[in-house]
Structure 1
Amino acid sequence: MLAKLRNVRIARKLFTLIFSSIFIFVLIGGTGFYFMGQMSKDSTAMYEDAVLPIKWQAQIRINNRAVDGLALEMLLTSNKNTRSELNEEIKGYINDNEELVVKLENSDLDKKEKKKITQYKEQNEKYVSELNKIVNFAMNGNATVGNTRYQKDVKPIREKLNVIMKELGNDLENNAEALNNNTLKSDTTSKIIILVVFIISLVFSVGLGIVIVRMIVNPLKIIQDLMVQAENGDLTVVGKYHSNDEIGVLTSSFNSMMSRLRELMRLVNGTSEQVAASSEELTASAEESTKASEEVASTIQEVASGAELQVKSTLESTKIVEEMASSIHQIATNAKDISTNALETSRKASDGNEAIQSTIEQMSSINVTVSELSHVVKGLGDRSQDIGNIVEEITSIATQTNLLALNAAIESARAGEYGKGFSVVADEVRKLAEQSAKSAQSISDLIALIQTETKIAVQSMEKTTSEVAGGIEVVHKAGKSFEQIRTSVDDVANQLQDVSAAAQHLSIGSDQVLQAEKLLAEIADEAASGTQNVAASIEEQLASMQEISASAESLANMANSLQEQISRFKV
């Protein structure tokens, strides 16, 4: 996997990092939102399917006890207005119970609980019928008969109703407890899953980012070190990074340039040595030719007696000049070839500099892309804040439930003995509300942890941005090294062009000397008839030999300077 990623271009490496990070953060956010939705549904279900039915059945019991109390009070009072008011209150409680029973029927109850509701309705019809009779006795002032009928007919039915409601309340409490346990298990499971997904995603994202950054920065540092060594004169360095990305292409171009530079330096070194040796030979030959010409000039007065010696010396001078001309032509040819290679190397160095500039643009693009990724991570932190708002809503629901439980406890206290049974139910409701609040607090803590880890991820992206900026600086330095190498090669090429020009000049001078020597040979054959022409030719030869000697010294100096320039390079 890493080998394949290494051969991918830098832009695709960055896109891989960006898309992987986006997918990871979407996965984390989606997981969190999914479980937040589930918890919200569980809290709503607990409130609607557990808390409200318990509240309704408890209120029905309280209302029934209140009706009993009001009916007994009607039997005891003698004031008609009071009896009428009590009768209206009884009707209100009965109507309230009927509405509560309808709500219970419409809630999510199991078969057993619905059966109890049916039983309650059947007994309640009898209860209301008998209660109306008791109310009529009370309204007519027959308290004794009403009390007797109450104890005989109404009280047994009321006790059955209380038993049914009590059993229904126990069933509802058991269901609420089971629902709460399931909610707690689901809450624990969601916390573990979110935490595991977040940790795995964070480790994967940071690890992938480190790997990709190292794949980009480390090879650039190696190239920089190699360029520094090349700048210091070590042309034997070779880049060993092999890849299909831009850095691999840059390394290949660098190796090709170093290979051409080594070949050029070897060729220049050999040619400079050859130039130095040839210049020494040329100087020696020029001196010998000068001496020979002087001897010819001194003996021109004795042409008759020393003609053979003069012809021999002239032939030797001609041979030496021919060898010298051949060497000079070879030097000129080699200097021209070296100059051509130097220009080619300069062009390669310019190509390497263009590759460096392209790499700088890619690294700048990396810097912009990592900054955009940092904004994406910060956006995830903002989404975590939205999740926190949802948790606050859940906490608000739990608080409202707790207030309902408190109100129920107050109502049960007002009901006196009749409300003692319901106070236990209210306490259970309050406990459920507190557990919901604790769960919401745990979720809030988890959201805070996610926000903290998100900040860590943002810091990691900022560190990556810093490292990429360092990579840009490294590439800038590499570009400067390429420019210095290109300048050095241009200097060598200029000096080689000077050497080539000097060699061409020497070649022309040697041709002139050769022609003079040939002319001198002809004059020697006709020494008797052309002594004045011989003297003039010898003077011209002496002048040419002086020019050749001066050019040879200049060529030797150039060769020595060139060798000094080359000596600082290691090939």
Structure 2
Amino acid sequence: MRNKLISTRITLIFMTVMAVVFLSVVFLLIRSSYGTVEKTIGIQGTATAKHIAERLNGDTYGRFIEKPEENESYFEVKDQLIETLDSTGVLYIYTLRADEKSVQIMMDGYPKDSKDGATIGQETTGTTYDDVKPVLEGKTTSTKIINDPQYGRYLSAFAPIKDSNGEIVGILGVDIAADSVVSIQSELLKSSIPIFGITFLLLIIVVCITLYFYVKRTLAPLSTVSQALGDFADGRWSVANQRIATIRTNKKDEISSLVRSFSTSIEQLSAILSRISSQASHLQVSSNKLFNTVEETQEANRTINQSMDEVASGSSRSVQNNEEAVRAMEEMSLGVQKIADSATTMAETSSGVTEFVQNCHKESLQVVNQIQDVKTLVLQTGDKVEDLTAKYQQIQDITNVMTGIAEQTNLLALNAAIEAARAGEYGKGFAVVADEVRHLAEQSKHSAEEIRVLIESFAEVTNGVRTDMTSTSTKVTNGAQAVQQIGEMLKEIYQSVSSVNDEVQETSATTEEMSAGSEEILASLEQVTDYANKSRNKTIEVAASTEQQIKAMESLAK
């Protein structure tokens, strides 16, 4: 839906811009047509003024200027002006003398008795020194069309009057009627605007359809990427990978590069999270094994404690009933043998517990190393996300350059259209080309702007991923510290179990000595009391040690 909105918006914006351009071009066409007609009349007027000035007797007019009064030279030149006014059909013909202070009419083409005729040296009201200054330099010139309430619309043209030596002796002015400018302009617009409008409309329709389908096809992968982001955020990594895999990334543009980078990031994140889950499961299994072993050791210690209580009770009875020692010796010998067997079993169990705790400690160290590897991968993925952010900035710089180029191209196309309009009929083809270039420049500018907005949106998504990667790195670090603490606790347990194992070995040796002592008691009754006391003391110590071991196992089990 987003791609459709973007492509539709781009097309509508382009159509709006084209409509504005069309209106601007029509306005410029109206202005340029008016200027063209005005310029054409000006050229015609200056040509007429130049032709009349060349036909005048410059030497005669020069003699008149030397002595400006109604003399023979004055009437000779005036007759030529009257004849020219009647034959050419101009509104008014006259000669001027100009300086920076004033511009004066020296004579005109009206008869002497005409009330509209000018007197010698009469200052003009509509012509300034700037209007005739180029004529004093030997050039021809004309004014803009003047709308006079009395004489109507007219245009003044000027040409230099030269003598036989080529010296400028005066200025010839003619006023040409310009009432036909509006009608000529209307006819010109009626013939050109419909053709231009239809051509422009067809061009807009073709370009808009092409632009719509191109933008829609180009931005199609963005919708799939957005859905994949939603799947990944919801924990459906495999679904996100499948969506990304359906996108064709064989093009060499910024969107395809973005999709490839995003796909790589998704795959790496999925692998990292899978390894973390596997390591957590392995740690749970090791903890369960340790708990079971602690329970077995605790049960064995209870058995040892009960045995030690029985031994202590038997030793007390031996001290109190020395007379019955001989009869009970055989039973005590059997009991001591059982104690020796139990002590041997306990020693073997304790050795197994010691070895198991040592293995658990080694595995915890391996888990710490593996979590450190996971942390390294997370940091590497974060670096790649940073690289992706830098690529976004590069793409944004490229779009800014494209926008600048489009603006410059638009300006050049506008200048070309103005020059083509000045050229009139010869510049129409070039004007169409200039408009096409300007249209394409506007299209490129708006497309670059849309791409810049999309890149900024993807930059925000990338920043979110980078934040999540930072959080994941912190959690992995905390997990590594927790596992390391478990390893240190296992090390302490190993030391405690090793100490208990040593005591169990001592207990086993003691029971062996008791067994040998029971045989010697049979040979020497006098030593029975002494051995009984020793046995009782040793049994009490063993019972106390066993009680401590039971408490330690219960604490570890908790």
TM-score calculated relative to the size of structure 1: 0.56
- Contact 1:180 1:432 (8 Å CA) reproduced: no
Of 515, 526, 529, the residue aligned with 1:538 is 529
Question: Mean alpha-carbon deviation: is it higher for 258-267 or for 176-185?
Answer: 176-185
1:69 Cα deviation after fit: 9.8
1:229 paired residue number: none
Unpaired runs of at least 5, structure 1 = 1-27, 37-42, 83-165, 219-242, 300-308, 410-421, 524-532
- Residue 188 in structure 1 maps to residue 203 in structure 2: no
1:474 paired residue number: 475
- Contact 1:279 1:555 (8 Å CA) reproduced: yes
Could you list the per-position Cα deviations for residues 361-396 of structure 1 after superposition, in whole angstroms to 9, with x for gaps in the alignment? 001001110011011111111111121122113311
Q: 2-side partners of 1:394 and 1:517: how far apart?
A: 115
Q: 2-side partners of 1:484 and 1:293: how far apart?
A: 51
Letter paired with 1:541:
A
The residue correspondences of 1:153-302 to structure 2 (distance < 5 A) are: 180-181=200-201, 183-189=203-209, 191-193=211-213, 195-197=215-217, 199-208=219-228, 245-296=271-322, 299=323
Q: 2-side partners of 1:80 and 1:356: how far apart?
A: 111
Q: 2-side partners of 1:402 and 1:256: how far apart?
A: 76
1:329 paired residue number: 344
Letter paired with 1:487:
E
Specify whether residues 182 and 563 from structure 1 end up closer, same or farther in structure 2 by C-alpha distance, changes over 3 A only: same
2:406 paired residue number: 391
Specify whether residues 217 and 72 from structure 1 end up closer, same or farther in structure 2 by C-alpha distance, changes over 3 A only: closer
Instruction: Say which SS state the counterpart of residue 525 (structure 2) adopts.
Output: helix
Specify whether residues 441 and 341 from structure 1 end up closer, same or farther in structure 2 by C-alpha distance, changes over 3 A only: same
- Contact 1:267 1:338 (8 Å CA) reproduced: yes
Could you list the per-position Cα deviations for residues 546-565 of structure 1 after superposition, in whole angstroms to 9, with x for gaps in the alignment? 11221122112211221132
1:323 Cα deviation after fit: 0.9
Letter paired with 1:453:
L
Of 538, 541, 547, the residue aligned with 1:547 is 538
Q: 2-side partners of 1:207 and 1:470: how far apart?
A: 23
Unpaired runs of at least 5, structure 2 = 1-5, 15-20, 60-186, 239-268
1:253 Cα deviation after fit: 3.6
The residue correspondences of 1:14-25 to structure 2 (distance < 5 A) are: none
Letter paired with 2:539:
I
The residue correspondences of 1:356-371 to structure 2 (distance < 5 A) are: 356-371=371-386
1:154 paired residue number: none
Q: 2-side partners of 1:369 and 1:534: how far apart?
A: 87
Instruction: Say which SS state the counterpart of residue 245 (structure 1) adopts.
Output: helix
Specify whether residues 433 and 252 from structure 1 end up closer, same or farther in structure 2 by C-alpha distance, changes over 3 A only: closer
Q: 2-side partners of 1:465 and 1:187: how far apart?
A: 41
1:12 paired residue number: none
Question: More relative contact order in 1 or in 2 (CA 8 Å, sep 6+)?
Answer: 1
1:376 paired residue number: 391
Q: 2-side partners of 1:260 and 1:76: how far apart?
A: 118
Specify whether residues 400 and 201 from structure 1 end up closer, same or farther in structure 2 by C-alpha distance, changes over 3 A only: same
1:288 Cα deviation after fit: 1.1
1:216 Cα deviation after fit: 11
- Contact 1:213 1:464 (8 Å CA) reproduced: no
Specify whether residues 366 and 357 from structure 1 end up closer, same or farther in structure 2 by C-alpha distance, changes over 3 A only: same
Could you list the per-position Cα deviations for residues 79-101 of structure 1 after superposition, in whole angstroms to 9, with x for gaps in the alignment? 4899xxxxxxxxxxxxxxxxxxx
Specify whether residues 314 and 396 from structure 1 end up closer, same or farther in structure 2 by C-alpha distance, changes over 3 A only: same
- Residue 346 in structure 1 maps to residue 361 in structure 2: yes
- Contact 2:402 2:444 (8 Å CA) reproduced: no
Specify whether residues 548 and 475 from structure 1 end up closer, same or farther in structure 2 by C-alpha distance, changes over 3 A only: same
Specify whether residues 210 and 495 from structure 1 end up closer, same or farther in structure 2 by C-alpha distance, changes over 3 A only: farther
Q: 2-side partners of 1:465 and 1:336: how far apart?
A: 50
1:184 Cα deviation after fit: 2.3
- Contact 2:420 2:427 (8 Å CA) reproduced: yes
1:211 Cα deviation after fit: 5.2
- Contact 2:385 2:466 (8 Å CA) reproduced: yes
TM-score calculated relative to the size of structure 2: 0.57
1:194 Cα deviation after fit: 5.5
Q: 1-side partners of 2:375 and 2:556: how far apart?
A: 32
1:155 paired residue number: none
Could you list the per-position Cα deviations for residues 272-301 of structure 1 after superposition, in whole angstroms to 9, with x for gaps in the alignment? 1221132122222222133124422xx3xx
Q: 2-side partners of 1:280 and 1:565: how far apart?
A: 21
1:179 Cα deviation after fit: 5.8
1:313 Cα deviation after fit: 0.9
The residue correspondences of 1:67-82 to structure 2 (distance < 5 A) are: 78-79=55-56
1:199 Cα deviation after fit: 4.1
RMSD: 4.8
Q: 1-side partners of 2:57 and 2:448: how far apart?
A: 65
Of 318, 332, 350, the residue aligned with 1:317 is 332
1:329 Cα deviation after fit: 0.9
1:328 Cα deviation after fit: 1.0
- Contact 2:311 2:539 (8 Å CA) reproduced: no
Specify whether residues 76 and 264 from structure 1 end up closer, same or farther in structure 2 by C-alpha distance, changes over 3 A only: closer
1:418 paired residue number: none
1:325 Cα deviation after fit: 1.1
Q: 1-side partners of 2:433 and 2:278: how far apart?
A: 71
Instruction: Say which SS state the counterpart of residue 348 (structure 1) adopts.
Output: helix
Q: 2-side partners of 1:80 and 1:352: how far apart?
A: 117
Q: 1-side partners of 2:58 and 2:403: how far apart?
A: 58
1:244 Cα deviation after fit: 9.2
Q: 1-side partners of 2:429 and 2:275: how far apart?
A: 74
Instruction: Say which SS state the counterpart of residue 469 (structure 2) adopts.
Output: helix
Specify whether residues 353 and 272 from structure 1 end up closer, same or farther in structure 2 by C-alpha distance, changes over 3 A only: same
Instruction: Say which SS state the counterpart of residue 543 (structure 2) adopts.
Output: helix
- Contact 2:333 2:519 (8 Å CA) reproduced: yes
Q: 1-side partners of 2:53 and 2:395: how far apart?
A: 71
Q: 1-side partners of 2:58 and 2:420: how far apart?
A: 36
Larger helix share, 1 or 2: 1
- Aligned residue pairs: how many? 379
Could you list the per-position Cα deviations for residues 435-477 of structure 1 after superposition, in whole angstroms to 9, with x for gaps in the alignment? 9767744653443332222222212211111111011011111
1:535 Cα deviation after fit: 1.8
Question: Mean alpha-carbon deviation: is it higher for 467-476 or for 383-392?
Answer: 383-392
